[in-house]
């Protein structure tokens, strides 16, 4: 495996997004708790180097496969690639570590987490739907389906907020599944929504 095959970590408010990290160790304490050790690429001044990070998995960590179905920690194996949403990295701890909020296990070469930044057009609280894009043109919107057990919502500082606090006109970054273009408007499952 080449270092160039490894993804990186990017910051979005107080939440970090892990892209295409490789699992190097899995330690299971129970069906839903334990930790993963991952490696990812970090650009340096003249070269790219690998960094390792321990991700703690708890009762509130969602683990999904590429289809959005729940998995348990015991299904993850060394050598698999993941995308994740995590807390700030605690560099003073040894080993360096963070808490995992969402882990998506990759089963192919396509990215499993996608990111859309746009203004909210419509919030349908009754049907748990969020539309982004042009409020006057459904052809320029994306419909995000909200699952109250999977979708997390936070403000720009990473603090949790309720779905009902979202309003048309707010700028949001949505972490979501692949957009299905066979529908009008196109639709996707929302994993995380952060107001900007």
The answer to whether the beta carbons of residues 100 and 36 sit under 8 Å apart is yes
- Looking at residue 44, its pLDDT comes to 58
In this predicted structure, what is the pLDDT of residue 5?
Answer: 59
What's the CA gap between 21 and 13, in Å, rounded? Answer: 20
**pLDDT, position 3:** 44
> Are 196 and 171 within 8 A, CB to CB?
yes
Q: Which domains does the chain have, with CATH numbers?
A: 3-106 (2.40.50), 114-195 (2.40.50.140)
pLDDT digits (tens, 9 = 90+) for 41-91: 776 545 556 788 899 999 889 998 877 788 889 889 888 899 999 998 887
pLDDT at 2: 43
Segments of the chain scoring below 70 in pLDDT: 1-6, 43-49, 108-112
| pLDDT value at residue 128 | 94
* Per-residue pLDDT, 49: 63
Q: How far apart are CA 86 and CA 102, in angstroms?
A: 7
> CA 62 to CA 189: how far, in whole Å?
14
Q: Give CA separation, 128 vs 69, 104, 133, 152, 171, in Å.
A: 18, 22, 17, 13, 18
């Amino acid at each position: 495996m080449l270092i160039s095959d490894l993804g990186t970590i990017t910051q979005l408010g107080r939440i970090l997004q892990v892209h295409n990290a490789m699992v190097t160790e899995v330690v299971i304490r129970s069906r839903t708790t334990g930790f993963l050790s991952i490696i990812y690429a970090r650009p340096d001044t003249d070269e790219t180097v690998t960094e390792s990070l321990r991700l703690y998995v708890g009762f509130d960590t969602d683990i999904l496969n590429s289809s959005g179905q729940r998995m348990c920690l015991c299904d993850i194996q060394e050598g698999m690639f993941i995308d994740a949403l995590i807390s700030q990295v605690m560099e003073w701890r040894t080993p360096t570590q963070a808490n995992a909020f969402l882990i998506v296990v990759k089963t192919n070469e396509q990215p499993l987490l996608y990111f859309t930044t746009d203004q909210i057009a419509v919030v349908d609280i009754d049907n748990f739907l969020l539309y982004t894009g042009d409020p006057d043109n459904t052809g320029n919107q994306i419909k995000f389906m909200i699952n109250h057990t999977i979708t997390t919502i936070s403000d720009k500082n990473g603090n949790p907020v309720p779905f009902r606090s979202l309003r048309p006109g707010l700028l949001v970054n949505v972490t979501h599944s692949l957009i299905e273009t066979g529908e009008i408007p196109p639709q996707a499952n929302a994993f995380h929504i952060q107001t900007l």
